[in-house]
Amino acid sequence: MPELPEVETVRRGLVPRLVGHVLTRVEQRRPDLRFPLPEAFARRLTGRRVTTIGRRAKYLLAELDDGNVLMVHLGMSGRMVLEAPRGGAGTLGEFYHAHDLNGAHDHVVLTTDDGWTVRFNDPRRFGMMDLVPAGGLAAHKLIRGLGPEPLDPAFDAAALERLLQGKKTSIKAALMDQRVVVGIGNIYACEALHRAGISPRRLAGTVRNERAARLVAAIKAVLNDAIAAGGSSLRDYRQATGELGYFQHRFRVYDRAGERCPRRGCGGTVKRLVQGARSTFYCPACQR
């Protein structure tokens, strides 16, 4: 799925088209995504003005003028796709083709007062949407219990060390645990660990001192680099504008099993291993 850099890129793409605009038409094409959509979902959204679009972890949070927040999670395959008003600018079929989309998976389609549409397309349907009062967000089942934002200055070596203290699981699994730190998924966990020179199998609780400092720096660097590149486009992911991110070309280890380790002077070979049913890519020679 979209990890933090992809969700943040989507957020930035949606802001100019949605913030300040009224949702004049809301089409809900199925009763549920990963979870059932809330009662009267489309009716409660229709006529509302979007005031801000924020992000917490991998959740997009669109605040509305009635005090509610539209929560969106993209799951593994979810996309938010912007489409300009049609003015003889081609057929819908051509639009789908150009965006490598299948309209069969457009589950929610929003139209704004200036004629733009945003379609939530999600073949695997691991994504979710909910509508919650702004004041109740912190207590929301899926928000409550989330760890710190990795790009927050408060997330530093001391904070990470504290979060990992006593953890018996692998550092790779801990980084992907949203209760420890949010926004990091399989790709960026692998990439951050490589940059930090830490083995994905290392016990989380043993990441301390200099290692914790290196890991925090690596996490922030890789996430910032990926955001600057518009995220990583593998199969499904695109920016809301339809553009492809290009950070996938900068992966140092992810999906590069058998290739030479890119670290200067290392000379090792990238290996794949399976942890918790997820592929991990790392260099056994320079990650300890």
Partner DNA sequence: CTTGGGTCCTGTGCGC
Partner DNA sequence: TGCGCACAGGACCCAA
Please select the residue that binds DNA; options are 68, 233, 241, 287, rule is CB under 7 A: 233
**Segment near DNA (CB under 7 A); pick from 20-28, 40-48, 148-156, 172-180:** 172-180
Task: State both tokens at 163.
Answer: 């979060």
Q: Does the footprint of DNA cover residue 277 (CB under 7 A)?
A: yes
**Segment near DNA (CB under 7 A); pick from 21-29, 91-99, 208-216, 271-279:** 271-279
Q: Is residue 85 annotated as a catalytic residue, yes or no?
A: no
Q: Does the footprint of DNA cover residue 278 (CB under 7 A)?
A: yes
Q: Is residue 58 annotated as a catalytic residue, yes or no?
A: yes
Q: What residue type is assigned to position 279 of the chain?
A: S
Please select the residue that binds DNA; options are 2, 150, 200, 230, rule is CB under 7 A: 2
Nearer to DNA, 2 or 200 (CB): 2
- Single out the catalytic residue among 58, 79, 172, 211: 58
Q: What residue type is assigned to position 161 of the chain?
A: E
Q: How far apart are CA 181 and CA 18, in angstroms?
A: 29
Q: Is residue 260 annotated as a catalytic residue, yes or no?
A: no
> 69 to 88, contacts with DNA by CB under 7 A?
73, 75-77
Question: Mask: binding to DNA, 190-219, rule CB under 7 A, as x and -?
Answer: ------------------------------
Please select the residue that binds DNA; options are 104, 138, 139, 228, rule is CB under 7 A: 104
**Segment near DNA (CB under 7 A); pick from 153-161, 182-190, 207-215, 219-227:** 182-190
Q: Does the footprint of DNA cover residue 96 (CB under 7 A)?
A: no
Task: State both tokens at 61.
Answer: 């949070």
Q: What residue type is assigned to position 195 of the chain?
A: R
Q: How far apart are CA 258 and CA 272, in angstroms?
A: 8
> 123 to 152, contacts with DNA by CB under 7 A?
123-126, 141-142
- Single out the catalytic residue among 16, 29, 278, 284: 278
Nearer to DNA, 8 or 236 (CB): 236
Q: State how far the alpha carbon of 287 is from the alpha carbons of 28, 132, 174, 269, in Å.
A: 47, 43, 16, 11
Q: Does the footprint of DNA cover residue 116 (CB under 7 A)?
A: no
Q: Is residue 48 annotated as a catalytic residue, yes or no?
A: no
Q: Does the footprint of DNA cover residue 231 (CB under 7 A)?
A: yes
Q: Does the footprint of DNA cover residue 167 (CB under 7 A)?
A: yes
Name the residue among 270, 272, 265, 273 with its Cα closest to residue 283.
270
Q: State how far the alpha carbon of 229 is from the alpha carbons of 78, 93, 100, 185, 226, in Å.
A: 19, 29, 20, 17, 5
Please select the residue that binds DNA; options are 17, 56, 58, 194, rule is CB under 7 A: 58
Q: Which residues bind DNA (CB under 7 A)?
A: 1-3, 6, 34, 57-58, 73, 75-77, 102, 104-105, 123-126, 141-142, 166-170, 173, 176, 178, 185-187, 231-237, 276-279
Catalytic residues: 2-3, 58, 278
